[in-house]
Amino acid sequence: MSKVKSFSGGMHPEYDGKSLTNSCGIIEAPLLEKYLVPLMENAGKPPRLCVAKGDKIKKYQLIAEADGFVSAHLHAPTSGVVVQIREVPGPMGTPVTAVEIEADGYDHGEAPFAPWEEWHSKTPQELLGRIRDTGIVGMGGAAFPSHVKLSVPPDKKVDTLIVNGAECEPYLTADHRLMAEYPQKVVTGALIMGQILNVSRIFIGIEENKPDAIAALGNAAAGTAVQIQVLKVRYPQGAEKQLIYAVTGRRVPTGGLPFDAGCVVQNAGSAAAVSDGVLLGIPLVERVVTVSGEAVKNPGNFKLRIGTPVIEAVKLAGGVTEEPGKLILGGPMMGFAQRSFDVPVAKNTSGILLLPGRTALNFSSSPCIRCARCVEVCPMKLTPCLLCAAIEGNRLDLAQKGHVMDCLECGACAYVCPSRRPLVQQFRRAKNELRKKK
């Protein structure tokens, strides 16, 4: 285990909320009567529906088939009947199509793929095909299909795999508990992906505020090619470019991707899912989710099936102690506020956060005072204050020259801004408009 590393820039809030759940063991949720499985659970093209109203289905059955290379299979979280295909509230604020499954209570279903305990003898293409077949995506938030990330273009040379266990977002501890309680799955998944990529180095990057997980991973990785890299507690340590720089000292070029720096990054949850998919032959139908916030009665980490309505997850945590002021899927920095408790859990739902009204404050922004705090904390070395001024003046050309497309949307600049400028919202709008023009 080498010395603690980090990146330049970033920040860490005075209170990160992790103490609410960082010692809470993973609780497996009981079987529900109904699941609302969203079709769109991956970056890229939505999968193609392959079940209809009235169909009887088994657990692990394919219910939507990947439609193209950048797409991901979707499987049933339990056995039952497809009640209907309907629209439900989506995590981005717009309705999404979902498969409503009425559970039969038996939870019947066998692993659809043969267990590969001797996975070392499999070819990279066989392992890559299994990852595609089991519908694994990036579980840290982006939901990019894992088989696509692991398919490096032939003209690119990759020598390093980094498993992202930083979990730098406040309040979230799902990856922490996963690494502490199932370290062998994370390490095995890392080794499998390392074999696919044929890399010479495999790292698990983890912040130093998770000593139990660091110890567990160290024991599980002993005698293997996996190295545990301890990282300084600093947000956004888990962002791909910052993680790559902290672990390897390499920089991803502007407009580039991790493999341009000889690296591939995968989330710790995705690594565990790869282990299950290859060793056990089961697809991704459940994940660990942190249900937390000062408005939650019993905050904790729960293993939830895909399609679990948020309201049911909150009930598992004992309900609320007061009227929530804000419901967020993900963390408070990069997560998205929700208008409904009916939004379902997806493959990339890392957290369900309920903040009380006294902390979820509404505020008005005021003019920039040129304090440069946003410049100091920007992990991409941008000038957020000037970018925001350019966008507000409809000078997208200046924003593009200022590398607004490199913005991570991490929210560090908005967090430290004394004028409460809507920086991230402006950058997000500018990036969308520039993409449309392109």
pLDDT tens figures, 134-153 = 999 999 888 999 999 999 99
Q: CA-to-CA distance for 417 and 374, rounded, in angstroms?
A: 6
Q: CA-to-CA distance for 142 and 149, rounded, in angstroms?
A: 12
Average pLDDT score over residue span 89-113: 95
Q: Which of 263, 238, 246 is nearest to 176 (CA)?
A: 238
Q: What is the mean pLDDT of the chain?
A: 96
Q: CA-to-CA distance for 166 and 267, rounded, in angstroms?
A: 9
Fold for 18-22+113-280, please state it: Rossmann fold (3.40.50)
183 in helix, strand or coil?
Answer: helix
Instruction: Inform me whether the pLDDT recorded for 57 exceeds 90.
Output: yes
195 in helix, strand or coil?
Answer: helix
Q: Where are the domains of the chain?
A: 18-22+113-280, 373-437
User: Between the CA of residue 72 and those of 127, 147, 180, what are the distances in Å?
Assistant: 16, 9, 28
pTM for the whole structure? 0.95
> Which pLDDT score is estimated for 92?
87
Instruction: Inform me whether the pLDDT recorded for 431 exceeds 80.
Output: yes
Confidence of residue 2 (pLDDT cuts 50, 70, 90): low
Q: Which of 36, 148, 15 is nearest to 103 (CA)?
A: 36
Q: CA-to-CA distance for 206 and 39, rounded, in angstroms?
A: 32
Q: Convert the pLDDT of each residue in 310-341 to its tens digit.
A: 999 999 999 999 999 999 999 999 999 999 99
Between 412 and 437, the more confident residue is 412
| Helix and strand counts by DSSP (H, E) for the chain | 13, 17
Question: What DSSP string runs through 257-277?
Answer: -GGGGTEEEEEHHHHHHHHII
Confidence of residue 361 (pLDDT cuts 50, 70, 90): confident
Cα 275 versus chain centre, distance: 17
Partners of residue 88 on adjacent β-strands: 96
Q: Go through the chain and tell me how many residues it has.
A: 438
Q: Where are the beta strands (DSSP E) in 31-128?
A: 34-38, 48-49, 56-57, 62-65, 74-75, 80-89, 95-103
What count of Cα atoms within 13 Å lies in the side-chain half-sphere of residue 195?
Answer: 22
Question: What DSSP string runs through 149-169?
Answer: HT---TT----EEEEEE---S
> Which pLDDT score is estimated for 128?
98
